[in-house]
Amino acid sequence: MTTRHNYRYYEFVMAAFVTVLICANLIGPAKIAQLDLPLLGVVTFGAGVLFFPISYVFGDILTEVYGYARARRVIWAGFAGLGFASFMATVVVALPPAPFWTHQAAYEVAFGNAPRIVAASMIAYFCGEFVNSYVLAKMKIATRGRWLWTRTIGSTIAGEAVDSALFYPLAFYGAGIIPDDKLPMVMAAQFVAKVGVEVLLTPVTYRIVNFLKRAEQVDHYDRDTDFSPFALKP
């Protein structure tokens, strides 16, 4: 008979992951930002790109500390939360505004994502997060738990590559929003930006991982794990 470990911080990491994921997808895409950076010049980007990679940081932490199976449950929780947020936004935007309420147009710009973009976002998230978690779990075994930075950055490169490769063609190809011949450039820029955020946050990841491993008395290795995305057993 196996004993179930009651972790003190697992639920908090799950809540942080889902919160960042929903906010990055619901708030971030509504604004296109532009900065004039040294060496790089003028850079234009969706504001969500600054925060979405944080969900990958939490995904790395979950897999590294608690293992793939528990990270899988959190990925599904995020998928459900993102789905409900998208459904709620669709319903609220569609409700007829009161005659004296004059902000419907602004509300539609902020929260009225097209169904195609919402579907593309959810598909890309689902595949990218599972690739990220799977690669990290396998790399942890291959590296025997050493060189954490190789796992966090390597898994993010794989996960974000899948996310970007799926989202932009599914959301924008042939839609006339972004010229089709510009999509590869946009995909590459977003990919580099997201991986760059992960690299910058590596010291923070180290601190959180080390704290959780000591506090929870756990350092999971996925040697006998069922890696199917659809098996929800911890």
201-212 pLDDT per residue, tens:
999 999 999 999
Domains and CATH numbers, the chain: 10-216 (1.10.1760)
Over residues 63-74, mean pLDDT: 95
Neighbouring-strand partners of residue 41: 37
* Residue keyed to tokens 């659809």: 230
CA 28 → CA 22, 25, 39, 49, 211, distances in Å? 9, 6, 25, 7, 30
**CA 41: distance to chain centroid?**
27
Start-to-end CA distance of the chain, whole Å, equals: 15
pTM confidence score: 0.88
Whole-number average pLDDT of the chain: 88
pLDDT digits (tens, 9 = 90+) for 115-140: 888 888 899 999 999 999 999 999 99
Strands annotated E in the chain: 32-37, 41-46
